[in-house]
Structure 1
Amino acid sequence: MKYIKGQDRTQITLFPVSLEDAVDAENEVRLIDVFVDSLKLQEFGFKVEFVENGRPAYHPADLLKLYIYGYLNRVRSSRQLEKECKKNREVIWLLKSLRPDHNTISNFRRDNPKAIKNVFRETVKIAKYFYLIGGTLVAGDSTKLRAQNSKKNNYNQKKIDRHMVYIENKLAEYEKALAENDGDKQEIENEITKQKQRRDGYKEIEKQLKDSGQSQVSTSDPDSRHLITRNNITEVAYNAQTTVDDKHNLPIDYNVTNTNDAKAMGNMLRRAKTILKANDFTALYDKGYHTGSEFKTAHELGIDVMVAIPTVAANAPNHIYNVENFVFDKVNDCYTCPQGKIMTTNGRWLQAKTYRFKRYTTKACKTCKAKPECSKAHCGKAIQRSEFQEYVDRNKSHINENKQLYRKRQQIVEHPYGTIKRQWGFNYIITKKYIERAEADFGFAMTAYNLRRIINIIGRKKLQTYLEGIFSVFCSEFARLKLFLNQINQLLKLTMKNPKILNLLLKPSNSFQISYTKIGF
């Protein structure tokens, strides 16, 4: 039976293949190369100037190319990227045979979170150029990304107290055993010492918790927090907020936090307004963002929002007497119940945890026949009206009037998460310690996602042609700047040789050209 045979490894070729010929002209790696070359890295915040002493540094463009290639090909580990530099033909071409070690690769991601976000924003600009951003409907949501910190190494006061009680009980047992034991006591004393050391460790964690002013502390990754991921499942994680445009499911913004969604909407809307340079768009969010103060922020920004309405736990025995069926009179500042009774307030604002409210009651509740169906409270029905209730009611009317539009939310915002977390496997943060590094990791994932989407929509060749045009303009601008600096350098040299030339250069501007010609430059 015949088989396809490979080439003899010892065969010498007459015409050796160059590194350029080793990578096909249509290879995607060429697109990554020209994309990074088209970026103004210094303006983005990458450090491009280094001191001459010591071993020369790697140019940030080379490390950025390596990371973008890695994330596009589901490789995030700095050690794995180091291996790719030695064995992957595409990476060898991309980095021109450079072989940075894993520490250099890791430090680049660690040190440039803001610059990496600017690279992501450049992908949004490219999407805008090709009219891939609609700018009329966006959806916002968050996804939990597991941190490099186990639940075991996350503590709150309740957990610390539980451990301390356990240690104190064990110490009492050992002390009792020590008093009753007439033989070898060394083993018991060792256990006592061990438990006391554990107690000291928990006291140190408790001090750290109190000093931080937070409700919990993580010992492996200090900025990570114990968060609910879905239903009642929890993880020590980061919470990545995103804003996604509906036209092609392209993210236009991201922000990694360690808090829940309740106070996130206002900030993300403010950023979206800046990115889109308009506020005439509608934003869709799920019920986790249903917060009165955030509705007020959206109103002040002039942005229409639609947030899912959470279910109310405290309903009346008969749904006819639920609060939404009580009519509010804004002019007279009172409610009218389904029985036609007026509920009034003393006008005093009461303070809840995060908002103020007024309390509305009526004495008619005591003699009302419908009281058993309306309220289980002995004193009758009482309504608490938040200071943000007007904005909450406005959102409810928007939802009821545009139910079909709101149903688009999930299919818009979940598309990037499905690709990044399920298809690429980026469901955890690979970096350790501090939220800035977590944001750099997620930023590369979002940049890779946007590039992949743009390539899939408009095609590799069209995007590469556009980037090559930017690169050629950038090169011509750089050449002109270099020529100008050379001219200035020559002028300085002439001035040092002949100080009289300086007087000619300092003459009024109308005679500058004559003076410039006289010195023969």
Structure 2
Amino acid sequence: MANKKPVFKPYYQHQLMAFPPTFDELIPADHTVRLVDKIINVINVEPLLNAYHIRGASNYHPILLLKVLVYGYVTNTYSSRKLAIACRENVPFMWLSGMSKPDHNTINRFRGVRLKHALRSVFEEVVKYLAEEGLLSIDEVYTDGTKIEANANKYTFVWKKSIQTNKAKMQKQLDEIWNYAQSVATVEDLLPEPPTAKIVSPESIQAAVDKLNEVLANNDQVDKKTKAKLHYLTKNYPEAIAKYKHQEEILAQRNSYSKSDPDATFMRMKEDHMRNGQLKPAYNVQISTSNQFIVNYTIHSNPTDTLTLKSHLEQHENSFNRPPKTLTADAGYGSEENYALLEQKQVESFVKFNMFDKQQNVHYNQKYPFAANQLFYHEQKDAYICPMGQSMEFVGIVKKRTTSGFQQQVRRYQAKNCNNCPLNGACHKSKDDRLIEINENLQRHKQKAHQLLNTERGISHRKKRCHDVEPVFANIKQNHGFRRFMLRGKQKVEIEWGLLAIAQNIRKKAA
């Protein structure tokens, strides 16, 4: 039997063509790059064009650079250097850029500077375009947040508690030397109290140091150890307290920040590769979705979802001139402030409160029969009835202010003669008579939310939330490998996430 040889298709690497193929012929009709090109061409990019000045040398066209960046984020190419290489070697990028070859500095400068005030309008135009196509709804949204690691060093941190501890130590040491100075000097030499008695500031620290030097520096009665301490605090304390003041201004309401990106706050990361939930500098990314399209996004330095909803809704209003008609979110947003805000804006909200799921379980309510929400309220007496039938009478109103500045009003009710009660110890753990606090406004909002969440529409929205907004984060993080921002600073991070949001919407449209 004759040996059979393998058959190969012809391979002529240097074959000349009379009519070379164009890039358009090399790209399939249903390729995603064509959709990027089409959408950017039809939307209004006037704000982006206005970011350029008339004077100066010629620039690469902003639409060219925008298309390259958006398609780069669609294809998981986030690095400006890799994008510059793709414009020289990758056929879809070469077609999209019209054979232009912007370098990585041009691409990076365009992303970080030119898009600063223009990308939000580009994102909004893409959302409106998709809404006109009937692919998403601006009025019915699902909201959630996730934490994404910042491009910051996790070992260069500043903590508010550490600053407060150090300031307290400084004040204590100053007070000790001040008291010593009082014992070796005449009464006329010193102020009646140290300048740090009321407030620790650069001015008060400097005043205390100057006064101590005035009294102790040339005093022969002062021992060498005290003079060494005085020399140390004279040299270091004014500079240190000025540094702490600057750090506290950066912190504002936060508890921490990274020195390499002061806008990033240390947050506990679920997806940490060490799987130990360690703290890392990160941003809290909030999105609202519709049919897995991103309708709105905001970036926050605060790790708590509860405090992000107000500004997130304001951004929705700024983008589309009205708040959404319906908003669905998990229990992380169920606060009195958020319920009041949604009610004020007339948004139909399907937002759980923190104990909603547990209260759905009958066994849970039976497990805690003495809880305040289980007690009977006597409306005519304005009193709650304890498990033993004793009347817990109204004793006053307390006003509280949350970390965001929202004021709450709490009514207090207290029992009498709990010492001899047979349920003492099971009903409550306090040594005194039982005292309960009732926030009537929050109770009203919870009752309204409970009723709405258990309607057919409420159950439908609760079920849909899990597979509308959460898969968007999973897709960006897991499928497209974006787990850490490349740019630093909140403003640039917003640009980067805006590009990711546009890319997500285009990928979803293509699918």
- TM-aligned CA distance change 1:386 to 1:148, over 3 Å: same
Gaps of 5+ in 2: 169-234, 271-275, 359-363
Kept after mapping to 2: 8 A contact 1:317/1:374: no
- TM-aligned CA distance change 1:329 to 1:37, over 3 Å: farther
AA aligned to 1:79 is: R
Residue 13 (structure 1) aligns with: 17
Determine which of 104, 107, 110 is the counterpart of 2:109. Answer: 107
Residue 97 (structure 2) aligns with: 95
Residue 128 (structure 2) aligns with: 125
Residue 173 (structure 2) aligns with: none
Residue 296 (structure 2) aligns with: 253
Q: Distance in 1 between matches of 2:97 and 2:146?
A: 33
Kept after mapping to 1: 8 A contact 2:143/2:289: yes
Is the partner of 2:19 in helix, strand or coil?
coil
Q: Distance in 2 between matches of 1:454 and 1:344?
A: 61
Residue 396 (structure 1) aligns with: 450
Residue 414 (structure 1) aligns with: 470
Give the alignment's Cα RMSD to 1 decimal: 3.5
Kept after mapping to 1: 8 A contact 2:395/2:414: no
Q: Distance in 2 between matches of 1:404 and 1:417?
A: 21
- TM-aligned CA distance change 1:25 to 1:321, over 3 Å: closer
More helix by share: 1
Matches within 5 A, 1:310-321: 310-311=354-355, 319-321=368-370
Residue 81 (structure 1) aligns with: 83
Q: Distance in 1 between matches of 2:416 and 2:138?
A: 52
CA deviations 1:216-262 (Å, max 9, x no partner) are 232111211101233944321011101112xx222211101111212
Residue 72 (structure 1) aligns with: 74
Kept after mapping to 2: 8 A contact 1:71/1:444: yes
Kept after mapping to 2: 8 A contact 1:92/1:98: yes
Q: Distance in 1 between matches of 2:9 and 2:162?
A: 65
- TM-aligned CA distance change 1:47 to 1:3, over 3 Å: farther
Q: Distance in 1 between matches of 2:427 and 2:299?
A: 44
Is the partner of 1:17 in helix, strand or coil?
coil
Residue 374 (structure 1) aligns with: 427
Q: How much does 1:394 deviate?
A: 2.5
Determine which of 53, 56, 59 is the counterpart of 1:57. Answer: 59
Matches within 5 A, 1:206-355: 206-214=244-252, 215-230=255-270, 232-245=277-290, 248-259=291-302, 260-272=304-316, 281-311=325-355, 319-328=368-377, 333-351=382-400, 353-354=402-403, 355=407
CA deviations 1:450-482 (Å, max 9, x no partner) are 1111222xxxxxxxxxxxxxxxxxxxxxxxxxx
Determine which of 33, 37, 44 is the counterpart of 2:41. Answer: 37
Q: How much does 1:353 deviate?
A: 4.3
Q: Percent identity?
A: 24
Is the partner of 1:370 in helix, strand or coil?
coil
Q: Distance in 1 between matches of 2:390 and 2:503?
A: 61
Q: How much does 1:161 deviate?
A: 8.5
Kept after mapping to 1: 8 A contact 2:316/2:324: no
Gaps of 5+ in 1: 166-196, 457-521
AA aligned to 1:383 is: I
Q: Distance in 1 between matches of 2:106 and 2:63?
A: 13
Between 199-208 and 153-162, report the one with greater CA deviation: 199-208
Q: How much does 1:440 deviate?
A: 0.6
Residue 190 (structure 2) aligns with: none
AA aligned to 2:86 is: E
AA aligned to 2:346 is: G
Q: Distance in 2 between matches of 1:198 and 1:408?
A: 59
Q: How much does 1:79 deviate?
A: 0.8
- TM-aligned CA distance change 1:271 to 1:364, over 3 Å: farther
Q: Distance in 2 between matches of 1:387 and 1:378?
A: 26
- TM-aligned CA distance change 1:420 to 1:330, over 3 Å: farther
Q: How much does 1:90 deviate?
A: 1.4
Matches within 5 A, 1:407-446: 407-432=463-488, 434-446=489-501
Kept after mapping to 1: 8 A contact 2:396/2:413: no
CA deviations 1:286-310 (Å, max 9, x no partner) are 2222221111111111223233332
Matches within 5 A, 1:137-216: 137-159=140-162, 206-214=244-252, 215-216=255-256
- TM-aligned CA distance change 1:378 to 1:439, over 3 Å: same
Kept after mapping to 2: 8 A contact 1:50/1:57: no
- TM-aligned CA distance change 1:316 to 1:71, over 3 Å: closer
Is the partner of 2:269 in helix, strand or coil?
strand
AA aligned to 1:47 is: N
Aligned residues: 419
Kept after mapping to 1: 8 A contact 2:300/2:308: no
Q: How much does 1:422 deviate?
A: 0.5
Q: Distance in 2 between matches of 1:277 and 1:437?
A: 25
- TM-aligned CA distance change 1:17 to 1:258, over 3 Å: same
Kept after mapping to 2: 8 A contact 1:157/1:206: no
Q: Distance in 2 between matches of 1:2 and 1:339?
A: 94
Q: Distance in 2 between matches of 1:332 and 1:151?
A: 57
Residue 360 (structure 1) aligns with: 413
Q: Distance in 1 between matches of 2:88 and 2:237?
A: 49
Between 5-14 and 32-41, report the one with greater CA deviation: 5-14
Kept after mapping to 2: 8 A contact 1:316/1:373: no
Q: Distance in 2 between matches of 1:232 and 1:331?
A: 51
AA aligned to 1:285 is: A
AA aligned to 1:286 is: D
Between 327-336 and 72-81, report the one with greater CA deviation: 327-336
